[in-house]
Amino acid sequence: MAAAHTPRESAHAAAQGVCQALGGSFAAISKWERELGKLRVLVNTGELADGEEEFPDDESYPVHEFPEIAGFVHEQWAGGGESSAWVEEAAGGPAGTPAQEEREGGRGNTQRVAALRRRGRGCCVVAPIVLHGRAWGELYVARRTGEPVFGRADADFAGVLAAVTAAGIAQTERLAEVRRLAFTDSLTGLANRRAVDMRLDEALELHRSDEVVVSLVVCDLNGLKRVNDSRGHAVGDRLLERFGSVLSLCGAMLPGTLAARLGGDEFCLLAVGPPADEVVKVAGELCDRAGELDLGEGVAVGVASTGDPIGEVRSPRRLFRLADAAQYKAKAARSGEPVVAGRHGGKDDPVVRLADAPDRRPGPERRRFRR
């Protein structure tokens, strides 16, 4: 689990390790989605029955079918007690804790017992996963019919393994949050420049290998300095947030597009796959919607796409220079429409020539962003 990079990898490693440690034939880890009232299966491992998938897209069960999770166990945790694992047996009642037998009158959970029989399993041990003092989900390990039934010692060991699993999940979630913060702009919630650089490198690899169209829309929000100077930075931040929402909405019109704030008043859309014409259309929509904001003075937009006649694009820097030069031209002309590199004379486009010329102004990767 410590080597996992994603929550899914972490859950998979935990399920495999616990299945082996308990001598099971099958293991699963599920998460309690409180807002939906469901126990959602994250991973199944081992001998899968018909209909089971290793990483199911939508295998979930209503929590009310599992009162030991939604009721008794949660109340036990809330009261400061320790969670305990229990055993279910397909052939009869539970071989679990006395507390469970007292709670259920000596009868096992009918849904679990039915599932065991349906899938050819003789018994299972279930251990709650507790994270930050709350029910996070459960660990489930089963054995084949005819194999020894789990006993009290197995249930106790499952509880220990669930605690180890919880620690691993907590670490993975912390790392995921760190990664999210590292690639997210804190004000707008959009991606940041670091995220754009990584995605653009990957996109251009696809362009070189499979000729996938890669398009970059660079935006400079007009009037931010005036708003900051006349109405204060809090209002300026509100303008940035509102434009960020507009950018996100327009980016959603192109599947898989990354919407980002490069810094200061500069934003971009990175589209991988859609034809250049579709990207230009969305860039026009972005100009229209930005012009309707009650703050600011619209936006200057430049577009560069490998789907247009802009010459060979070998590096992210090249595409950024083209889009930035087009945006600079749109700003100078106070254009209410996007300026598109390569669409005013092909390679003789002044925008392309500007991008090919020696630096006349810092590129976006070296510019000191304005606030």
Q: Between residues 333 and 207, which one has the greater pLDDT?
A: 207
| Cβ-contact 125, 150 below 8 angstroms | yes
| Cβ-contact 244, 221 below 8 angstroms | no
Q: How confident is the model at residue 149 (pLDDT cuts 50, 70, 90)?
A: very high
Closest CA to 30 of 58, 4, 2, 50: 58
C-alpha gyration radius of the chain: 28
pLDDT digits (tens, 9 = 90+) for 328-342: 989 888 888 999 998
| Cβ-contact 278, 162 below 8 angstroms | no
| Cβ-contact 86, 124 below 8 angstroms | no
Helix pair angle (233-251, 224-231), 10° resolution: 150
Q: How confident is the model at residue 83 (pLDDT cuts 50, 70, 90)?
A: low
Q: Which amino acid is at 228?
A: N
pLDDT of residue 354: 57
Q: Which amino acid is at 157?
A: F
Separation between Cα atoms, residue 360 and residue 371, nearest integer Å: 22
Q: Which of 177-181, 195-199, 299-303 has the lowest mean pLDDT?
A: 177-181
Average pLDDT across the chain, whole number: 82
Mean pLDDT of 221-238: 86
SS3 content of the chain, % helix, strand, coil (to 5): 45, 20, 35
pLDDT digits (tens, 9 = 90+) for 26-79: 999 999 887 777 889 999 999 999 989 999 988 888 766 665 555 444 444 444
Classify 129 as helix, strand or coil: strand
Q: Where are the alpha helices (DSSP H) in the chain?
A: 7-21, 67, 74-78, 98-103, 110-118, 152-182, 193-210, 224-231, 233-251, 276-291, 316-332, 350-356
pLDDT of residue 269: 95
Residues 6+ apart with CB under 8 A from 230: none
pLDDT of residue 323: 93
The β-bridge partners of 138 are 30, 128
pLDDT of residue 345: 61
Phi, psi of 94 (to 5 degrees): -75, 150
**pTM to 2 decimals?**
0.56
